[in-house]
Amino acid sequence: MVFVLYLILQITNVKKELAYLIFSVLMVSSEASMGSLVFTLQTGLPATIDSSVENPWFVGVMMVEMSLTLLFSLSRLNGNMRKYLIALLLLMPWFPEIFGVYAFWLSTFIMIAATIVIYETLYKDRLKATQDTFTVLELLWIFSLMMIGEFLYFLYSSLLLFDLSMIVAMVWFVYRASVGPNPVKGNYLRDAKTAFAIILSTFVMEFFMGAVLDFVNGVFSAGVNGFLSSLTLPWLAPSTPLNVLWDGVDVVGSVLGSVWFLIMMGIEMGFLAFKKMLEIKVREVRVRMSLMIIAYAIYSIYLPNFSPISSQLPYIPYMWSMGIGTLGGVTNSVLFGLIGTYVVYAVLSFLFGSRNLCAVTCTAPLMYQGNFYDSLKVFNRTSKLGRKTLTSKTGKWYKAVAVGVSVGVLASAVVSYLNNSGVISFTVEGVDITSLIYFVWFDVLWYVVFISIPFTGTFACVTQGWCYWGVFNQAVSRIGLFRLKVRDPQVCASCRTVDCANACPVGLTDMRGEFIKKGEFRSIKCVGIGECVDACPHKNVFFYDVRHWIKERLRRNQ
């Protein structure tokens, strides 16, 4: 088969796409047939797709053929296509029936590395239309199919879909190595639907990847019944549309809120954020991004799940993550930790701005600040909803959402407290109301907002008022000491590029006007990301907070 492929590759001036596709299918079919034959000869049993593919004969010959195919085609492929094929080649040998549990770990981390490579190449060529755009979409679909196959293995003890995904991957590998990348050119920054397809495909892959790791590490029990019993919310019989919605939220939120999904996502998003940090010139912004990455690892992963104090977090101020509703119902025993958390964050927001949460300790900035995802801030200006949230103004819609959500959460906290104190008896299907609110808000709806970036813009949690915890800190920051200042307003008046406003991931496009009028800029939406400071070509913009306030007072007293 390889010899025939080598001869076909020598033919020129002939349209060979269909021939290559047929050949790729025949190559994989021959290997699957050989695996089937060997299995039957060894066991005397009739072979299935699983037994034909999940054996060393198929895997070994497959790797040889794929390696030689890549070797023959290497000189004809561009650098990015080589990376994609090498990544897929490294991913292919890890069949669960051969390598056991190690196959899941190795395939997961190789897939994470491959996804980082994909995003890096897209980001590098973000200003032009390239063949990479739709080529990587094909690859992401294959990755998603593999992860769905592994997930179904833990549910039904069947590798059928996974094996089919490996067959599809091999066909794609041989075909793309032969004909090159997808001929259609695209640019994810110019087409919201294309950008959405990339984000959604990645999200689907990551969702099932996180679920697989949860199975491997015992967070979820194997089998359908074991999985359902491991979910966060009680499982309801899907007899009504409302029950179906509840169960769907239960499945999605249980995976997205699990520690292994957060670890997997943190590795991927953290690396992209680190790459973005390397592009930053201003030291203070680099420090902020470093703290953001470290905070995710410690504050969101280690302390709640692996630290000696993990069981005590509800009682410790500042550790009640995200405020009301996160770690359970509101009871007398946790009031000190809960209220103390709000007090500590309020003080920090007053002194340093809401960036202590919205740009450091929250998981959102890590996800938004990776180089690929940061580039999606163009949709703040180009999407219909994104354009409506531009500038520092808070329209009626923002105020209605922010106030409605905040009042609703506070009222739920009161209900939870009264319920846990025995004054009333109120739960939703046996679930405390504040626990349910947090589960739905941050483990489901937040991700809906995130994958909708091409239609809403980046940091929609900030610009639209959906995050009650963020709104609290932003409101305190607005009356606090934090603001953006300029050294010379006249420099802003003569600036033609307005790089500060263009760089803002929250879409505060009116900051230049405020700099010229007042020499400073304050907004409830400003969360101190700092890209405006870094982007200013005149180094005219800087953060002002309690540090500068103290220095000013000391100078006056001298």
Mean pLDDT score across all residues of the chain? 91
Q: Are residues 138 and 264 in the same domain?
A: no
The answer to whether position 329 is within a domain reads yes
For residue 180, the Cα-to-chain-centroid distance in whole angstroms is 29
CB of 473 closer than 8 Å to CB of 523: no
Same domain, 150 and 215: yes
Residues 6+ positions from 68 with CB-CB distance below 8 Å: 2, 5
Task: Looking at mean pLDDT, say which of 2-6, 171-175, 316-320 comes out highest.
Answer: 171-175
- 219 and 313 both lie in a single domain: no
Residue 237 lies in a domain: no
Which backbone phi and psi does 520 adopt, to 5 degrees? -155, 170
Question: pLDDT category, 449, cuts 50, 70, 90?
Answer: very high
Which helix (H) or strand (E) segment is 541 a member of?
Answer: strand 541-544
Is 273 among the domain residues?
A: yes
Same domain for 208 and 251, yes or no, is: no
Q: Does one domain contain both 183 and 304?
A: no
Judge whether 224 and 155 are in contact, CB under 8 Å: yes
C-beta of residue 494 within 8 angstroms of C-beta of residue 470: no
- Would residue 67 count as lying in a domain? yes
Q: What is the pLDDT of residue 131?
A: 92
Of the residues 179, 207, 230, the one at which a domain ends: 230
**Residue 143 domain-assigned?**
yes
Q: Same structural domain for residues 32 and 76?
A: yes
- The values of phi and psi at residue 484, to 5°, are -100, 135
Kindly state whether residues 456 and 526 are assigned to the same domain: yes
Would residue 250 count as lying in a domain? yes
Q: What is the mean pLDDT of residues 447-453?
A: 94
| 3, 9, 180 from 14: Cα distances, Å | 19, 11, 15
pLDDT of 135 = 95
Other CB atoms within a 10 A radius of the CB of residue 14 amount to 7
Say if residue 493 is in the same domain as residue 467: yes
> Does residue 396 sit in the same domain as residue 512?
yes
Query: What does DSSP assign to residue 310?
Result: G
CA–CA separation, 236 and 540 (whole Å)? 58
Q: Transcribe 358-420 into DSSP letters.
A: IIIISHHHHHHSSHHHHHGGGHHHHSHHHHHT-SS---HHHHHHHHHHHHHHHHHHHHHHHHH
- Please indicate, yes or no, whether residues 528 and 441 belong to a single structural domain of this protein: yes
| Same-domain status, 510 and 377 | yes
* pLDDT above 60: residue 14: no
User: At 314, is the pLDDT very low, low, confident or very high (cuts 50, 70, 90)?
Assistant: confident
Question: What's the pLDDT at 555?
Answer: 84
The H or E element containing residue 521 is: strand 520-521
Model pLDDT, residue 530: 93
Q: In this structure, is residue 74 part of a structural domain?
A: yes
Q: Which of 196, 230, 264 is the last residue of a domain?
A: 230
In the block, tokens 């007072």 appear at 553
Q: How many domains does the chain have?
A: 2
pLDDT of 515 reads: 95
pLDDT at position 4 over 80:
no
Give residue 476's pLDDT. 95
Cβ neighbors of 102 (< 8 A, separation 6 or more) are: 94
Determine the pLDDT at residue 327: 63
* Higher pLDDT pick, 39 / 292: 292
What is the C-alpha to C-alpha distance for residues 163 and 169, in angstroms, rounded to an integer?
10
Read off the pTM: 0.92
pLDDT band at 304 (very low <50, low <70, confident <90, very high): confident
Encode 102-162 in three state secondary structure.
HHHHHHHHHHHHHHHHHHHHHHHCCCCCECHHHHHHHHHHHHHHHHHHHHHHHHHCCCHHH
Task: Evaluate whether 290 touches 277 at the Cβ level (below 8 Å).
Answer: yes
Same domain, 383 and 343: yes
Q: How confident is the model at residue 237 (pLDDT cuts 50, 70, 90)?
A: confident
* Cα atoms in the 13 Å half-sphere on the side-chain side of 541: 30
What's residue 31's pLDDT? 86
CB distance 270 to 297 below 8 Å: yes
Which domain-ending residue is among 230, 257, 281?
A: 230
Residue 319's pLDDT is what? 79
* Predicted confidence (pLDDT) at residue 325 exceeds the cutoff of 60: no
Read off the pLDDT of each residue in 178-201 and give the average, rounded to a whole number.
Answer: 93
pLDDT confidence tier of residue 180, bands split at 50, 70 and 90: confident
The predicted pLDDT at position 318 comes to: 85
**Is 235 inside a domain boundary?**
no
* Residue 117: C-alpha distances to residues 98, 120, 130 (Å): 27, 5, 16
- Give residue 288's domain range: 242-558
pLDDT, position 112? 94
